[in-house]
Amino acid sequence: MEKVSFKERSSLAKLMGTILSLIGALVVIFYHGPRVFLASSPPYVNFRQFSPPLSSSNSDWLIGGALLTMQGIFVSVSFILQAHIMSVYPAAFRVSFLYTVCVSIVTSTIGLVVEKNNPSVWIIHFDITLITIVTMAIVTSVYYVIHSWTVRHKGPLYLAIFKPLSILIAVVMGAIFLNDSLYLGCLIGGILITLGFYAVMWGKANEEKDQLSFSEKEKTPLLLNRKNDQV
């Protein structure tokens, strides 16, 4: 789906931008370095008191990491499949509706199996639980419609390049709202992710300009031939 040519600057920009984004994401995750910003106690409620302590065995962390790796692979494959589906059936709202129905069926089935001995969990109370369900239903539907439209018009790479950027956003939001400290690795990785992101965006923009200019050049001889035939 993506044209790669080492003779074109747009292809080189996309390739180098993707590599920079991946390196930046790995730096943020695996390298901390010295602390650059020390978090102070916020004047508002500390959200950490609502979260359970992170006490898990090494096997749990390995299983969780393996599952997250599988999730990343399946998400990447889903972007490519979604691009093929949208090229054949370009109806973003209908595709999103079918996707939501299938996800609801799968998750409901898993919930019934896991919580078969605890039917009380299916009781919806008029509290934060109901607000969470309604909000997630709305946000997920809009999110998938935007995904479908983006994949159809811009391609899977354009959508996937935002994934490393989300790591940087999560780090910044954690420092602002969760009182997390910022480390040198976060700053270095953030710079690499940002440079890679803009390199891919620049490459995609120039590629679209080249495609438009090429299509205009193809149309010009056809118009001249039609005028000559009329004369």
Q: 79 or 56: whose pLDDT is higher?
A: 79
Of 160, 168, 189, nearest to 83 by C-alpha is 160
Domain assignment present for residue 48? The answer is no
- Residue 50: pLDDT over 80: no
- Digit-coded pLDDT (tens) for 134-150: 898 888 888 888 888 88
Answer whether residue 6 is part of any domain. yes
Threshold 0.85, pTM exceeds: no
Is 80 exceeded by the pLDDT of residue 190? yes
pLDDT of residue 19: 92
Closest CA to 192 of 28, 79, 38: 28
Is residue 11 assigned to a domain?
yes
Rounded Cα distance, 186 and 133, in Å = 33
Domain ranges, residue 90: 56-116
How do residues 92-132 score in pLDDT, each as one tens digit? 888 888 888 888 899 889 888 888 888 887 888 788 888 88
Query: Is 85 among the domain residues?
Result: yes
Task: Select from 69, 92, 116 the last residue of a domain.
Answer: 116
For residue 186, tell me if it sits in a domain: yes
Main-chain phi, psi angles of 190, to 5 degrees? -65, -40
Task: Classify residue 225: in a domain, yes or no.
Answer: no
How far is Cα 26 from Cα 163, in angstroms, rounded to an integer? 12
Rounded Cα distance, 1 and 4, in Å: 9
